[in-house]
Amino acid sequence: MPPRASTEDNQARGDTGFDTSGEAARETEALRALEEVLAGRSGESLVMEDALRHIVTRVTDEGLVIELFDLDGSPLFVADTPEPTAVTRTLAEMLAGLLNSVSNDIALNGHVKNYPIVLKDNPVWDLSGARAHSLRILLAGSGYDEARVRRVSGFADRVSAVDNPTAERNNRLELVVLRKFRR
């Protein structure tokens, strides 16, 4: 449950709006365990080594962020479309199985690179959202309960992953395993 604002009435009752039962700490440990599996450091990797190169993870206040990104010569989507490539399908299948091992809901965010020229009809907003929806569809097709998807967002080219806004590395998806409990 998300924290509530700490009001004077809540504080008088000892309710700060933050989990003090230890659930948040246990949840953080579970998210870190997922992160270990994805990083292949748990002794046994769930995905082939080549696909692992497309994944970077980090634990944040929102939850475990699993970032899937383009590599030179190995994109997640067919150029300038929401059509997933084989590596994206493989990653979605693996992630669906992994996500079914936890009860947390997820959020999906799509990001795309900046186009180096001014376009009359710049596709970045529609493309980023469509790619996030493609991942949602792939996860559902791989057995993940679609009712556990809390939001699907497209961020266009507004949040770069690297300094060069036109770099392929900015073409990415973020799958956030949302926290139930906040510290």
- Cβ neighbors of 14 (< 8 A, separation 6 or more) are none
DSSP 165: T
Asked whether residue 182 carries a pLDDT value surpassing 80, the answer given is: no
Asked whether residue 56 carries a pLDDT value surpassing 90, the answer given is: yes
Asked whether residue 59 carries a pLDDT value surpassing 70, the answer given is: yes
DSSP 153: E
Two structure tokens written together for 140:
């559902």
Q: What is the pLDDT of residues 110-165, one digit of tens each?
A: 999 998 777 667 789 999 999 999 999 999 999 999 999 999 999 999 999 999 99
- Cβ neighbors of 139 (< 8 A, separation 6 or more) are 92, 95, 96, 99, 146, 149
Asked whether residue 48 carries a pLDDT value surpassing 80, the answer given is: no
Give the pairing type, strands 149-154 and 106-111. parallel
Average pLDDT over residues 162-177: 94
pTM, 2 dp:
0.81
Asked whether residue 88 carries a pLDDT value surpassing 80, the answer given is: yes
Question: Using 50, 70 and 90 to split pLDDT, how confident is the model at 92?
Answer: very high
| Torsion, CA 120, CA 125, CA 129, CA 134, rounded to 10 | 30
Question: Mapping DSSP to helix (H, G, I), strand (E, B) and coil, where does residue 70 land?
Answer: coil
- Cβ neighbors of 55 (< 8 A, separation 6 or more) are 38, 39, 47, 66, 67, 68, 91
Q: What is the pLDDT of residues 104-115, one digit of tens each?
A: 999 999 999 998
Question: Using 50, 70 and 90 to split pLDDT, how confident is the model at 1?
Answer: very low
Asked whether residue 101 carries a pLDDT value surpassing 50, the answer given is: yes
Q: Which of 19, 28, 2, 44 is CA-nearest to residue 102?
A: 28
Distance CA(38)–CA(142), nearest Å, equals: 18
Q: Which of 61, 56, 86 is CA-nearest to residue 172?
A: 56
CA Rg, the chain, in Å? 18
Would you state the pLDDT for residue 16?
46
Q: What is the pLDDT of residues 7-38, one digit of tens each?
A: 555 445 444 455 556 888 888 888 888 888 77
Distance CA(72)–CA(43), nearest Å, equals: 28
